[in-house]
Amino acid sequence: MNALVIDERFCGPPGTGNGGYVCGRIASLIDAPAAEVTLRRPIPLMRPLPVTIRPDTTLDVHDSETIIAQAKPEHDLEIDLPSPPPYEAALAAMPRYLGLTRHNFPGCFVCGTDRQSSDGLRIFAGPLSGDDHRVAAPWTPNGDLADEKGEVRPEFIWAALDCPGAFALMGRQPRALLLGRMTARLYGPVSAGEPHMVIAWKVAVDGRKEIAGSALFSGSGTLKGAAKAIWFDVSRVAS
């Protein structure tokens, strides 16, 4: 039995782990080209969370006696990828980022406006021109996110694919959305210090589930990763 510990640096909502980062950490324990990770509870910070693997290869993450996350291999990611916009369009979209005017989780490791570039990703995905539910952001990963070869570690790529999806679903109305499930596939190395862009788009709404797609491209438009995520509106759940 291994244990997973999420450092407080990698928070999302206060006191809990950022969903994409957590999913990426869990996915790294699965030997498959893609993985599906389901978050059943908010993931606590700074304490060991035991990890077990079932005979069918499903991975369980525990907090005391409760299973708080599960993961399984996925060999195919079923998602229609749009063509990447020009890098300049991602740059132009960033000032329209909804979180600059109101942010429910400003301390979020990925998209929080209270984080500095030295300790947060600061991926500010704003609407592309004329489309409130298709967002984009530039991202140049810092060197501290990379391994000894200068390649960004997978959990940070999962993190980068996470929050933009929530903002694609919001449109012009700030809402508190929480990640419920994320399926992602990584396609190639992401070099630290090089310009990249993240795009995300609304896929569908199915009852309480809101579904978004996201993708990471190099600055020149080479696909580096893609994800499909299910989100829940906290206010709807509470009501």
pLDDT band at 96 (very low <50, low <70, confident <90, very high): very high
Contact predicate 94/126, CB 8 Å: yes
**63 phi, psi to nearest 5 deg:** -125, 105
- Give percent above pLDDT 90 in the chain: 86
Q: Which class would CATH give 2-74?
A: alpha beta
Q: What is the pLDDT of residue 31?
A: 82
The mean pLDDT of 208-234, rounded to a whole number, is 96
The mean pLDDT of 193-197, rounded to a whole number, is 98
**pLDDT for 45-95, tens place per residue?**
999 999 999 988 899 999 999 999 999 999 778 889 999 999 999 999 999
Domains 2-74 and 87-238 fall in the same CATH topology:
yes
Domains of the chain, by residue range, sit at 2-74, 87-238
pLDDT band at 237 (very low <50, low <70, confident <90, very high): very low
Please check the confidence at residue 202 and state whether its pLDDT lies above 70: yes
The 3-state secondary structure of 38-89 reads: EECCCCECCCCEEEEECCCCCEEEEECCEEEEEEEEECCCCCCCCCCCCHHH
What is the length of the chain? 239
């990925």: which residue's tokens?
110
Q: What is the pLDDT of residue 239?
A: 40
**pLDDT for 142-177, tens place per residue?**
999 999 999 999 999 999 999 999 999 999 889 999
Q: CA 223, CA 207: separation in Å to the nearest integer?
A: 31
**pLDDT for 13-35, tens place per residue?**
999 999 999 999 999 999 888 99
Q: CA 29, CA 199: separation in Å to the nearest integer?
A: 26
Q: CA 103, CA 132: separation in Å to the nearest integer?
A: 17
**Structure tokens of 74?**
């996925």
Please check the confidence at residue 238 and state whether its pLDDT lies above 50: no
CATH architecture group of domain 87-238: Roll (3.10)
Name beta bridge partners: 227.
Answer: 184, 214
